[in-house]
Amino acid sequence: MSEEEKQPTTVTLASGDKMPLVGLGTWKAKKGEVGAAVKAAIGCGYRHIDGASNYLNEMEVGDALAEVFKGGNLARKDVWITGKLNNPYHHKEHVRPHLEKTLLDLGVEYLDLWLMHWPVAFVYVPYKAGVRGFDDTYDPDGCSGVDLSANGGSKIDMSVSIRETWEAMEACQRAGLVKNIGVCNFTAPLIHDLLTYATIKPAVNQVEMHPLLQQPALVKYCQAQNIAVTAYSPLGTADFKQPHEPSVLGDETLKKIADKHKQSVAQVALRFNVQRGVIVIPKSTNPDHIKDNLNVFDFTLDDDDMSTIAAMDRNYHFLRPQDWYGIPLFAN
C-alpha cells in the first residue's frame, strides 16, 4: 500500500487528542495472563490499552506497562490508556479517590481517557485506599461486605444522579488527572440529557458493538455530536455468550467475506467497525490473535461487503443489564 493509500489509524477527539482506532481490551483477561498480553500487544505495535477498575487486573496491567516503559523505547506519552469509574463510586466524594486508586494500580500519573462504566450507581463498596490492588474478598459487582438492608436489599443506589457523577469527573479532568472523559453504555437519550448540562462534553461513548449489534443510529448521533464511539466486544464476547447464542466468529457470511479478502473472520468483523470510524478494543491473551487483530489497515471492505455485513444486524446484545440490575437499559 502506497503512502497516499495508507488508512487512518487514529480518531481525533474533540480535545484534539488522537486516539488509536485499535486497542487491546482487558475485560475477562485473567490475572497471570493479562500482563503478558499487554506486553505482547505493545511489542507488535499496539499503542492503546483499554482497562477498568471493575476488571480487577489493573495492577498487573500497570506492572506490564512499567516494564515496557523501563525498556526505554516507549514513554508513558506513547501509549493511550483508558480507565473506567466503577459503579459503587458515583457519589461526588468517591469519584476522585477511585480515580486515584486506578492511577496507583496502573502506576501512572494520568489517564488519556476515563469513562463512566455504566449509567447505574451501586451502593459504596469499601476498599483499601493507598494500597495497590484489591484483596480477594473485594467484589464490586456483588457489593461484598455491604449491608444492603437499609437500601431495601438492592445494590442500586438511587440517591446519586448522573449529573453529580459527571461534574465530579469534569473536576478530575480540570485537575489534570485525566486528559479526556467519556461514558460507556449510554443510549442517545442519556447522552442528550448529559449534553444539556455538561461543561466538558463526553469525548467517547463506549458500547457493545459487533456485526450482530451495529447500532447505526447511535453511531451517527454520537459522531454528529463530535463524540467518538468505541466498540467493546467487537468480536461478540466469546467469554460471555451462552452456548445457545449466535456466534460472530462462526458466522458463514463473515467467513465468505474473509475468504474473499484472505483475512480472518475476526479481521473482517473489526475492519467493518474501523471503516465506520468506530474504535475497536478486541480482547485476547493469545499472541497470534493479538497481532492479527491489529492488522486491519492493509485491506478495505468494498461497498458490497459493507452492505452485506450491515444486513446482518440483529440488534443482539450479549450484555443485558436487565438480567443483572433489573434495569432494561437497552430495551426496544
Of 131-145, 220-234, 279-293, the one with minimum mean pLDDT is 131-145
| Exposed / middle / buried, residue 283 (Cβ in 10 Å: 0-12, 13-18, 19+) | buried
Size (the chain), residues: 332
With a CB cutoff of 8 Å and minimum separation 6, the contacts of 317 are: 208, 213, 330
pLDDT in tens, 265-283: 999 999 999 999 999 999 9
Give the pLDDT band (50/70/90) at residue 31.
Answer: confident
C-alpha cell at 215: 447500532
Dihedral pair phi/psi, residue 90, rounded to 5°: -85, -25
Confidence of residue 144 (pLDDT cuts 50, 70, 90): confident
Confidence of residue 311 (pLDDT cuts 50, 70, 90): very high
Q: Using CA atoms, how far apart are residues 102 and 52, in angstroms rounded to an integer? A: 8
Of the pLDDT bands very low, low, confident and very high (cuts 50, 70, 90), residue 325 is confident
Which tens digit of pLDDT belongs to each residue from 66-83? 999 999 999 999 999 999
Residue 297 has pLDDT above 60, yes or no: yes
Q: Strand, helix or coil at 285?
A: coil
Q: Convert the pLDDT of each residue in 53-68 to its tens digit.
A: 999 999 999 999 999 9
pLDDT tens-digit map of 115-125: 999 999 999 99
89 is catalytic: no
Question: Three cell numbers at 43?
Answer: 511489542
- Phi/psi class of residue 171: alpha, beta or left (left: φ > 0; alpha: ψ in -120 to 50)? alpha
What confidence score (pLDDT) does residue 156 get? 95
- Mean of pLDDT over the chain: 95
Helices (H), 71-187: 92-106, 162-174
What's residue 42's pLDDT?
A: 97
Q: Does the structure show a pLDDT above 60 at 5?
A: no
Write down the pLDDT at residue 237. 79
Query: Each residue of 203-252: pLDDT tens digit?
Result: 999 999 999 999 999 999 999 999 999 999 999 976 677 888 999 999 99
Q: Give buried/exposed letters for 256-282 (b at 16+ CB in 10 A, else e).
A: ebbeeeebbbbbbbbbbbbbbebbbbb
DSSP 179: S
Global pTM exceeds 0.75: yes
Cell of 178: 485525566
From the candidates 46, 55, 110, 127, which is the catalytic residue? 55
pLDDT score, position 129: 92
